[in-house]
Amino acid sequence: MIEKFFMPSNHNMKRTYIWTVLAGSVYAGSSFLMSMFTSKCIGVAEAGILALALTIGNQLVTIGFYNIRTFQVSDVTEKYTFSDYCFLRVITVSAMLLVGFVWVLKDSHRGVKLAAISFAILFRAIEAVSDLLEGRYQQKGRYDVACKGVFVKVLSYLAAFLITLFITKNIAIALGALAVTYLIVLCIVDSRLIGRFGGVSFHTTFMRQKGLLLEGLPLFVNAFLNAYIINASKYALDKYYDSETLGIFNVLYMMAFVVNMFASFVLKPIISVLAEKYVKQDISGFVKLVVRQIVVILLVTSVCIAGAWLLGVPVLGFLFGVDLTNYKGALCVVLISGGFTALYQLLQYGIIIMRHQYSTFVCCGLTVVLTYLVTPVLTKRYAVMGASASYTISIGFMSALFLGFFIYHLQKDRKQMKHRD
């Protein structure tokens, strides 16, 4: 029954896109629903505990992921075996849990807050394991299987969270139910599927682990640098203004991910296709596919900005209960940053596929410097608009750097291929 649903023989790209949209929508909306339901069901203070717990979990899961998913998916020639990736994930998830343990002790949390943070860290650790298996499905050309898995798992743990919270009125118990449900569904579903893709093994060598760790290092470092770039505007608003101002910016800031989410619906399914074209030295097809994705990003961004200009302020104001009348311009600026985010991610995928991922470290490093210099100044002077503009400037600058490196490496690799021929 499970295999029949997840792996039908009549799969195609159209069905894959449908499941990509469904999975992306459910995943993107889960945190919003959890926060909204918590605030209305048991109060704003508990919603704050939830936000803190999920924020810490999101920061620590970068260790668990090691940001290696794109590298794994694009490893179509299997330079590293799935066993290598499995063993690496044991290392990274163990490190994540260890750092999480130290984090909790360092901050001296107690009671419900301690339990909530602990369960959130466990939840994200389980997600890191799930991500490994879903990456395997995608690597083997079955991104539809990965998306179906995300859809089922998110709906399951979201339902468990909401029902438990409604019954117990306790955020820690609800997060515990969420984590346990996620683990159970993962075991039931993926244990039946992964065997069709070679199964799970931990056979590896020290040299292969060393090579994989080193090749993924710039991607891992980038995850931490990106975390600073993404949150710098929030830090600055928290430093110079009150929590209400930060809250307004958070409402606007969430909309940046709308653009990125819709763009990813089209982008993620073609990562393995891009990798295959590059490996087969079909540079023309590789470039055409990248250009087509850039056009999609521009169109999605334009539509979202137009919608935000016409309806964004009243709709968001109604949903979140805040007056956003004076923030229409800031909202549109934030949406532009969403387009830049989708663009740099596309170019980053291309650079990783070409195996020049150390260039991404340069891009993120220079952007961190710019962000550190610009964000506090603009935010202090122009509040929400300054925070929105500084974030957009940073992401736009990083996109330009990624574009420059992408073109440079593409031309260089094309010449080398012609020389070998």
SS3 sequence of 348-408: HHHHHHCCCCHHHHHHHHHHHHHHHHHHHHHHHHHHHHHHHHHHHHHHHHHHHHHHHHHHH
Q: Is the pLDDT of residue 159 over 90?
A: yes
Query: What single letter denotes the amino acid at residue 261?
Result: M
In this predicted structure, the answer to whether residue 71 has a pLDDT above a threshold of 60 is yes
pLDDT in tens, 280-297: 887 888 888 888 888 888
| pLDDT value at residue 320 | 64
Among left, alpha and beta (phi > 0; psi -120 to 50; other), residue 167 is alpha
pTM (whole model) above 0.75: no
Q: Indicate whether 51 pLDDT > 60.
A: yes
State pLDDT tens for residues 237-280: 767 876 567 667 777 777 776 676 666 666 666 777 787 778 78
pLDDT at residue 313 is higher than 60: yes
Q: Is the pLDDT of residue 393 over 90?
A: yes
Please list, residue by residue across 232-258, b when 16 or more beta carbons sit within 10 angstroms of its beta carbon and e when fewer do: bbbebbeebbeeebbebbebbbbbbbb
- pLDDT for position 88: 94
Question: For a pLDDT cut of 70, what percent of the chain falls above it?
Answer: 90
Q: Higher confidence at residue 16 or residue 369? A: 369
pLDDT score of 319 more than 80: no
Pick the closest to residue 349 from 138, 59, 137, 147 (CA basis): 138
pLDDT of residue 177: 96
Residue among 250, 216, 245, 248 at smallest CA distance from 230: 250
Band (184; pLDDT cuts 50, 70, 90): very high
Kindly tell me the sign of the dihedral angle through the C-alpha atoms of 404, 405, 406, 408: positive
Question: 324 is written with which tokens?
Answer: 């956003």
Q: What pLDDT shows up at residue 179? A: 96
Confidence band for 48, pLDDT divided at 50, 70 and 90: low
Region of residue 278 (left: phi > 0; alpha: psi -120 to 50; beta: else): alpha
Find the radius of gyration of the CA atoms of the chain.
Answer: 22
Task: Map residue 77 onto helix, strand or coil.
Answer: coil
pLDDT value at position 333? 92
- pLDDT of res. 235: 73
Q: Is the pLDDT of residue 403 over 90?
A: yes
**How confident is the model over 296-310, as pLDDT tens digits?**
888 888 888 888 888
Please tell me which residue, 400 or 413, carries the higher pLDDT value. Answer: 400
Mean residue pLDDT of the chain comes to 84
Q: How large is the average pLDDT for residues 208-237? A: 82
Res 396: pLDDT: 94
How far from the centroid of its chain's Cα atoms is residue 163's Cα? 26
Structure confidence by residue, pLDDT tens digits, 93-142:
999 999 999 988 876 677 888 999 899 999 999 999 999 999 898 888 78
First to last CA, the chain: 50
Is residue 12's pLDDT more than 70? no
Residue range 13-32, pLDDT digits in tens: 777 778 877 887 788 778 77
Tally helices (H) and strands (E) across the chain. 16, 0
DSSP for 104-144, written as a single string: HHHHT--HHHHHHHHHHHHHHHHHHHHHHHHHHHHHTT-HH
